[in-house]
Structure 1
Amino acid sequence: MPVPSVIPVSDTAVWTLSGFGDEISPDPAIQLAVLEALGARHIEVRSAWGVNVADFDDERADALAGLISHAGFGVSAIASPIGKVGVSLPVEHEVERLRAVIRVAHRLESRYVRIFSFYRGDGVPVEATRDDVLSRLRALADIAEAEDVVLLHENEKEIYGDVPSRVLDLVESVGSDHLRLAWDNANFVQCGVKPFTEGWATLAPYVDYLQVKDAVAATGEVVPAGEGDGELLETATALRDAGYRGFASLEPHLAAGFALGGFSGPAAFGRAARAFDKLLAQIGVTTA
């Protein structure tokens, strides 16, 4: 299924709604049913049946592809855990895992694969990891280029690319059209950043994908869109004005968060979707 493209602004902007299915339920059939009830026709795949996408075998990928196709859905992105490991591991560790994830991406007809930029050891200065991070991301980008997928780096606390200056450093230093950015307002807030004020101007040219969640600066608590300090309204307005017609993927994290993701459940996921719709209505954007 083709990736939505950027086109000139019209009177009403329509963004493509998606969401992390495993935030709803481990059962992909329930994931798809809830997303459909919320008006989505795409899903972001991080895990199904309790198995992370990096650990899918061909049989599981085929089964999920069949469910998604039967529901008439597309896959907005593969929400892989690539790069959410220590930078001290050998380069080959994540290279091989990415190859496995890309096989799943091809089977599910998704061109986008989310990645991260590596944890560091306790007491290790972030600056000391730069060369190792960049060499690993370059190796991952080489694979993405050969396989014609686009890696989406997600800003995440405690990895190299956690704050805008380092996110900009990695995307410019790697310098690949197959390494772009997934923008997460809440994660920036949890790093002490005002996302739009401090990051948007420099990072906007590299942003291909919006992950939707918000957070409260004082506590780090994740909340529905527009209820925190993530400057989501300003971000969404700037995207609209730039003619964005890409994905907006709900990742609410309203019930629980853990190392490889989060959970909301159907009711809280619906609350997050309604909050996002309310925010977008203020600027004349709808989702489909």
Structure 2
Amino acid sequence: MRRESLAPPVLAGIGDEAGPALADQVAALAELGWSAIELRTVDGVRIADLDDAAFDAVAATLAEHGVSTVCVDSAIGDWSTLITGDFGRDLAQLRALERRCARLGARYVRVMSYPNDGLHDDEWERRVLRRMRELALRAEQADLVLLHENCAGWAGQGAEHTLRMLEEADSPALRLLFDTGNGLAYGYSALDQLTVLAEHVEHVHIKDGLAGPVWTLPGEGEVDLMGCLKVLADNGYRGALSIEPHLSLRPHDGDGGTGAAEGFVAAGRALARLLTRVGSAP
């Protein structure tokens, strides 16, 4: 059954886009009136790599402020890795996140599917699919759900590759994270790809921009965000909408900027205005 509007979504944001310190991240969410965060790094360190004391402080701070964690962004298979890299490190990272996600009350872990390292395409595919099957199996055993982002790696090449990965893994523990802005960097229409993949999407990054890419506030770029939101509504989407504005911090480009709370908050307000236009303001 198709729906005419999004159910009121959980609004969240990737915290380090507002600032490296957790205090800055929580403050930006509070300014927006939101109570959900997507964790990527705190003080420049990924959640799986924090020492125990630092992680305990993160979990305690979020609990104190009533902030829930909708997703933890791992480095598994992402733009910083290669398919020829040590798979054991990825499995160790997943084990660490199993414990930490349980503490945070989070089930979703963002992954990608390994950039190539000069292998023949067939070999690249074989290795990626084998790894993704193993990761999904481990995640299922840990009561986690891996969310593959339409970004770096084999399955990020297009909807056909993404669907093949899901078919090969054949696991409820491997689903999709759709970033609305990634098509600008990889040369495809977000709306076209989302239309094909929407039924498998369980988490969404909201990003907008112009060809280049040059990132903008949601609704001010070339991405058809209204069209994407309507596709999600038509498919009964009930996951979070998480802003990743990239107005200051651009990790894939090696930009280790400190983030900007002002841009983060502006992006959140711009998203809220878009949702009002599709009849689903929270």
Determine the structure 2 residue equivalent to 1:245: 238
Paired residue type of 1:200? L
Alpha-carbon separation, structure 1, partners of 2:251 and 2:209: 16
Matched, 1:227 2:220: yes
- Whether the 8 Å CA contact 2:113–2:132 is kept in 1: the answer is yes
Determine the structure 2 residue equivalent to 1:102: 98
- Whether the 8 Å CA contact 2:181–2:208 is kept in 1: the answer is yes
TM-score, structure 1 normalization: 0.89
Paired residue type of 2:188? V
Please give the per-residue CA displacement for 1:43-74, whole angstroms capped at 9, x wherever unaligned: 11111122111202222221111000000111
2:11 counterpart SS class = strand
Match of 2:13 among 19, 30, 34: 19
Matched, 1:41 2:14: no
Q: Give ranges in structure 1 of 5+ residues lacking alignment.
A: 1-6
State the 1:211 CA deviation: 0.7
State the 1:164 CA deviation: 1.9
Identity %: 34
Match of 1:118 among 114, 117, 121: 114
Determine the structure 2 residue equivalent to 1:132: 127
Matched, 1:258 2:251: yes
Please give the per-residue CA displacement for 1:92-114, whole angstroms capped at 9, x wherever unaligned: 22111111122211111101111
Alpha-carbon separation, structure 1, partners of 2:105 and 2:180: 27
Determine the structure 2 residue equivalent to 1:205: 199
CA 1:149–1:224 in structure 2 vs 1: closer, same or farther (change >3 Å)? same
Match of 2:63 among 65, 69, 81: 69
CA 1:157–1:141 in structure 2 vs 1: closer, same or farther (change >3 Å)? closer
Determine the structure 1 residue equivalent to 2:184: 189
- Whether the 8 Å CA contact 1:157–1:191 is kept in 2: the answer is no
- Whether the 8 Å CA contact 1:62–1:107 is kept in 2: the answer is no
Matched, 1:279 2:274: yes
Q: Aligned-pair RMSD on alpha carbons?
A: 2.1
1:25 counterpart SS class = coil
Instruction: Return structure 1 stretches of 4+ with deviation > 6 angstroms.
Output: none
Determine the structure 2 residue equivalent to 1:3: none
Q: Which range moves more in the overlay, 203-212 or 97-106?
A: 97-106
CA 1:261–1:116 in structure 2 vs 1: closer, same or farther (change >3 Å)? farther
Aligned residues: 278
- Whether the 8 Å CA contact 2:113–2:153 is kept in 1: the answer is no
1:165 counterpart SS class = helix
- Whether the 8 Å CA contact 2:148–2:175 is kept in 1: the answer is yes
State the 1:285 CA deviation: 1.3
- Whether the 8 Å CA contact 1:213–1:224 is kept in 2: the answer is yes
Alpha-carbon separation, structure 1, partners of 2:255 and 2:198: 25
Alpha-carbon separation, structure 2, partners of 1:37 and 1:8: 34
Please give the per-residue CA displacement for 1:196-228, whole angstroms capped at 9, x wherever unaligned: 12x123211110011110132x31222222222
Alpha-carbon separation, structure 2, partners of 1:8 and 1:148: 30
Matched, 1:215 2:209: yes
Alpha-carbon separation, structure 2, partners of 1:62 and 1:8: 43
Q: Which range moves more in the overlay, 204-213 or 242-251?
A: 242-251
